[in-house]
Structure 1
Amino acid sequence: MEIGDRSVGFLMLLSSVSIFAYYTFWVIILPFVDEDHFVHKYFLPQQYAILVPTFAGVLLLCSLTIFVGIVMLKGRNRKSHAN
C-alpha cells in the first residue's frame, strides 16, 4: 500500500503545483502581456481570477460544515444509545 500512497501523494503534489503555477501566471504576469499575444487564449478572462477561488472557497466551507454536522449528529446518536 505504500507505493499506492506515494503515487497518490505525488499526483496531488503535481496537481497542486500545476494549479498554483497556472493561477500565479494568470493573475500576476498575464496583465502585463499584450492583449493580442497568443498566450491569452489559454486563460480565462481576468474577472474569473476572483470568481473561481471564491466559489471554490465557498464550496469547501460548505462541505466542511456539512461534514462536521454529520459527525456531530452521529456522535449524539451514539451517546443517546449508550445511556
Structure 2
Amino acid sequence: MLYDRTIARVLLYAVTICYIYYVLWMVITPFVDPSHSTQDLFPPREYGIFIASFIMTASLGLAMTVASIHTIRRTGIRKDANKKAK
C-alpha cells in the first residue's frame, strides 16, 4: 500500500519535471538556433500558451466546483429548497 508521503513525493517530482520542461520550452528555446537538434524535443511555442491557459481554466473551474459542492453539502441548500417547494 502506498503511503500519502510516497504519493506526494511522486506527484512533487512529476510536477517539478513538468515545470522544468515548460520553462525550458517557453523561456530557453527562443534563444536557441531553430535548426538545432534540441528544437525537435519541443512542440511549437504557441501550444505552450494554449496548454497553460487550458490547465489554469480547468483548475479554476474544478476548484470552484469543489467549493460549491462543499458549500451546498455543508449548508444544506437542497433540503431548504425541497421544504419550500412543498
Stretches of 4+ aligned residues off by more than 2 angstroms: none
Name structure 1 gaps, 5 residues minimum.
none
Name structure 2 gaps, 5 residues minimum.
81-86
State the distance in 1 between where 2:24 and 2:18 align: 10
SS at match of 2:3: helix
Q: CA RMSD in A?
A: 2.2
Deviations 1:49-73 (A, max 9, x none): 2111111000000001111111111
Paired residue for 2:41? 42
Percent of paired sites with the same residue: 25
Under a length normalisation based on structure 1, what TM-score does the superposition of the two structures give?
Answer: 0.82
Under a length normalisation based on structure 2, what TM-score does the superposition of the two structures give?
Answer: 0.79
Greater relative contact order (Cα < 8 A, sep 6+): 1
State the distance in 2 between where 1:72 and 1:17 align: 32
For 1:1-83, what aligned pairs fall within 5 Å after superposition? 4-77=3-76
